Structure 1
């Protein structure tokens, strides 16, 4: 009985050690995300990783396999998405002070005499630049209308940046304010429009 009991225990031990071990939840590499949310995985299970938002695959295999409680190595490499150049803005410059990768932003500056229409700063997102480039429009001040006055000299419409116009009041009227106006970068006259009062 002792020999057969010993053989029985030996076989039982072999059966226990031959039993497969589960794997715990695997840990990925930098900027990777597991696509499966289980806590344990039976041997033979294959899981897949993907790159985090804002990152793209730069080579390697996204899959690993559980074998007797151990995961095969993950070779997936992820790098920040590069949005590249957003293009050019006529009558302005596009600057990339931080770079052109995910999370970076570009800044647009208009040349002197041109005003920005649109967003000045645009962020590089997971699908590319997150907005259209703005445009730089030439500054244009509306022709000033000053009741009871007469145009004396200066620019004619359109009135661009730094254009000047001079007015005088009609006979019998006195000017309150400056008789000469200058078109500013915000398309407003400076100083404010004068008045011609009796």
Structure 2
């Protein structure tokens, strides 16, 4: 009985440890620094809007720890959603940018005009703080962006944006990502 209890306890601790979301390197730098400067390039951005007025805006940033001088580049994502009505910020760290570019170039852009009959395909990119998925279902295409790394501070643990009408604007996100590399 004691072994069973210890086994169950070990299993529960393992599940809780491995199911926790991880932070981006950018969030870690911001959280660990006493003084931080964030440089944003407001002239280079990509924006997606949903039919109900929700938005996601992407732009390149540079984060500097003012004490140590450590610098990093990243992609900042600002999401405004309506259910719940809230604004959230997430980052894609520099170490994830190249894979994000590859994902869009290989699995989204070539299939923007693809159509299926009686089936669907979904391509998913998982970064530490953001998940982007591209769904093709018959003649419909949907781009979904989900924030992975937030506390349940409003009774909602799922911050998600999706659009079917602005899928082609993924090329603008690709351009922003390429400025970060």
Same fold (TM > 0.5): no
Greater RCO, CA 8 A, separation 6+: 2
| TM-score normalised to structure 2 length | 0.22
